[in-house]
């Protein structure tokens, strides 16, 4: 593909103002994609957009959107349609955690979590897939979590369930649209060095976790892009998490439940988000 053709390729990254989303935007821009940058903090998105345009000679579009609000996905879709932007690579990455027990969480916070982690992922796939199918080519990366792969530590009941939804939806869409040129991947980070833990008051929970359990956001972005390019519907970080998931997956469910309870009592700081 020559440079002019490459410049017409567009990716859309939600949660591009920080962490894993910024890493996705940087990686995709370096691969020649123009990028739609989505999050609430417009100033950060504008700064990132200017940096990417400068470094890689690509185009960016900033969409300052609160994805917890009803109608946000449709407005985003209309904004890209209005610019004649055809999304080839959709990255559903925006997300957040809440560090409280299920019954202590505010109903509004839970509603926002469902909107951002579940509804947004389902609806952006619904909105952008038809164009991809019509063009016979598309890539979707949905950022899930190790918390969606295995029974989750106590206190992450809703978050883990949202991430399980993301994995299931990704696998199902991959199977349903794979023969139409569409690859869908759920990438499942474990602990990753981003701003995730600050707003959720989880910094103390994770501060003593050893380096073996941590990834850099750039590693997660590369993992997701390589997996979706290769047509793998599920991508787990190499090393600790992949081995852990394999071993835990072999155990009977009741042993997994016992481990979660035990783990929670003795080492709440090793929650594989």
Active site residues: 159
Smaller CB separation from ligand NAP, 128 or 252: 128
The two tokens of residue 24 are: 């996705």
Q: Is 271 in the site for ligand NAP (CB under 6 A)?
A: no
**Is 35 an interacting residue with respect to ligand NAP (CB under 6 A)?**
no
- Please give the residues from 173 up to 192 whose contact with ligand NAP meets the rule CB under 6 A: 189, 191-192
Q: Which is nearer to ligand NAP, 66 or 130 (CB)?
A: 66
Q: Whose Cβ is closer to ligand NAP: residue 126's or residue 137's?
A: 126
| Cα–Cα separations (whole angstroms), residue 163 to 88, 100, 189, 217 | 23, 17, 11, 18
Task: Single out the segment in contact with ligand NAP by CB under 6 A; choices: 25-33, 87-95, 98-106, 167-175.
Answer: 87-95
Helix, strand, or coil (residue 61): strand
The DSSP element (H or E) to which 62 belongs, if any, is: strand 60-64
Which residues share a beta bridge with 138?
A: 182
| By the rule CB under 6 A, 68 interacts with ligand NAP | yes
Q: Give the residue among 18, 22, 6 at the shortest CA–CA distance from 199.
A: 18
Q: Quick one: 6 or 195, whose CB is closer to ligand NAP? A: 195
Return the residue of 74, 81, 195, 203 that touches ligand NAP, per CB under 6 A.
Answer: 195
Q: Is 41 in the site for ligand NAP (CB under 6 A)?
A: yes
Give the helix ranges, DSSP H, for the chain: 3-7, 19-30, 42-56, 72-82, 107-113, 120-135, 157-177, 203-206, 217-230, 240-250, 253-266
Q: Which is nearer to ligand NAP, 122 or 133 (CB)?
A: 122
Could you give the CA distance from residue 197 to residue 1 in angstroms, rounded to a whole number? 40
Indicate whether 170 belongs to the interface with ligand NAP (CB under 6 A). Answer: no
CA distance 95 to 198: 13
Residue 60 has φ and ψ, to the nearest 5°, of -130, 155
Q: Does 109 bind ligand NAP (CB under 6 A)?
A: no
Q: Does 116 bind ligand NAP (CB under 6 A)?
A: yes
> CB under 6 A: which stretch of 66-74, 126-134, 167-175, 221-229 binds ligand NAP?
66-74
- The two tokens of residue 242 are 């992949």
Q: Which residues bind to ligand NAP, rule: CB under 6 A?
A: 15-21, 39-41, 65-68, 93-96, 116, 143, 145, 189, 191-192, 194-196, 217, 273
């Amino acid at each position: 593909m020559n440079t002019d053709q490459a410049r017409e390729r567009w990716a859309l990254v939600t949660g591009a103002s920080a962490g894993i989303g910024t890493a996705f935007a940087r990686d995709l821009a370096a691969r020649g994609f123009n990028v739609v940058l989505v999050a609430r903090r417009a100033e950060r998105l504008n700064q990132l957009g200017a940096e990417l345009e400068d470094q890689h000679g690509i185009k960016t579009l900033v969409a300052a959107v609160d994805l917890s609000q009803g109608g946000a996905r449709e407005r985003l879709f209309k904004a890209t349609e209005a610019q004649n932007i055809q999304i080839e690579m959709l990255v559903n990455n925006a997300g957040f955690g809440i560090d409280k027990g299920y019954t202590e969480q505010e109903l509004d916070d839970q509603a926002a979590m469902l909107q951002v982690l579940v509804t947004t992922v389902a609806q952006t796939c619904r909105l952008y897939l038809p164009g991809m199918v019509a063009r016979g080519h598309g890539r979707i990366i949905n950022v899930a979590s190790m918390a969606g792969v295995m029974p989750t530590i106590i206190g992450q009941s809703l978050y883990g369930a949202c991430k399980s939804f993301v994995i299931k939806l990704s696998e199902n869409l991959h199977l349903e649209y794979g023969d139409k040129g569409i690859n869908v991947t759920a990438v499942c980070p474990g602990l990753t060095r981003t701003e995730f833990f600050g707003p959720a008051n989880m910094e103390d929970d994770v501060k003593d976790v050893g380096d073996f359990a941590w990834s850099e956001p750039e590693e997660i972005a590369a993992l997701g892009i390589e997996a979706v390019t290769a047509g793998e519907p599920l991508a787990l970080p190499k090393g600790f998490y992949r081995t852990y998931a394999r071993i835990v997956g072999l155990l009977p469910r009741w042993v997994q439940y016992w481990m979660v309870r035990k783990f929670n009592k003795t080492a709440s700081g090793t929650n594989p988000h």
